[in-house]
Amino acid sequence: MSTRTDPVVVIVPGLRDHVEDHWQTLLADRLTEAGRTVRTVPPLTEDSLSRAARVAALDKVVSEAEGPVVLVAHSAGVITTVHWAEGHTAAQVLGALLVTPPDFGTPLPEGYPTPEVLGEHGWTPVPRTPLPFPSVVAASANDPLGTAEQVASLARDWGGALVELGEVGHLNPASGYGPWPRAEELLRDVENG
């Protein structure tokens, strides 16, 4: 059962936004059912590739949260989060769970934007400075969107604790993940510092 001291959980989706059977959506449902306050950054209705618009949407959700916040970001949501942290006050953010960040500097699989398109929309370069809050960075050994080595390098630069998940692909429905119970365990780690 939730207490008044529980931080607000802010879900930061990737470029595909809200996906019904994604672990973030299922986590939000479970936490809400348990009495937690959960806010999800809403999908963009215009220029969905705009990094600036996604950062502004995250800032709006964080600014409207009452009390402390923990961020739960996946894929491009991780990159949105680090861009947001670079340019905004993060005082109310207790920490972040940053799951399978992509490598936007190298070509992604077919169906994803090219590095050039991502650059045109402000995604690169990805900030590499230490985050102003603690973080857990979860890496997959076989993520088609970013190598384990690249994610480990990002975790070091951001000052995050690296958690190696094994071979979980991009940890999305296409990789066989809807429910991901470990998310709650890692979220507790973030909340407990």
Phi, psi of 157 (to 5 degrees): -65, -35
Q: Convert the pLDDT of each residue in 4-26 to its tens digit.
A: 479 999 999 998 777 788 999 99
Q: What angle (nearest 5°) sits at the alpha carbon of residue 60, between those of residues 94 and 71?
A: 30
From CA 181, how far away is CA 166, in angstroms rounded? 15
Q: Convert the pLDDT of each residue in 15-68 to its tens digit.
A: 877 778 899 999 999 999 999 999 999 998 888 899 999 999 999 999 999 899
Residue 70, pLDDT score: 97
Residues in Cβ contact with 156 at an 8 Å cutoff, skipping those fewer than 6 apart: 162
Q: Convert the pLDDT of each residue in 103-141 to its tens digit.
A: 999 999 998 999 999 999 999 999 999 999 999 999 999
Q: What angle (nearest 5°) sits at the alpha carbon of residue 189, between those of residues 78 and 23?
A: 50
CB 140 within 8 Å of CB 100: yes
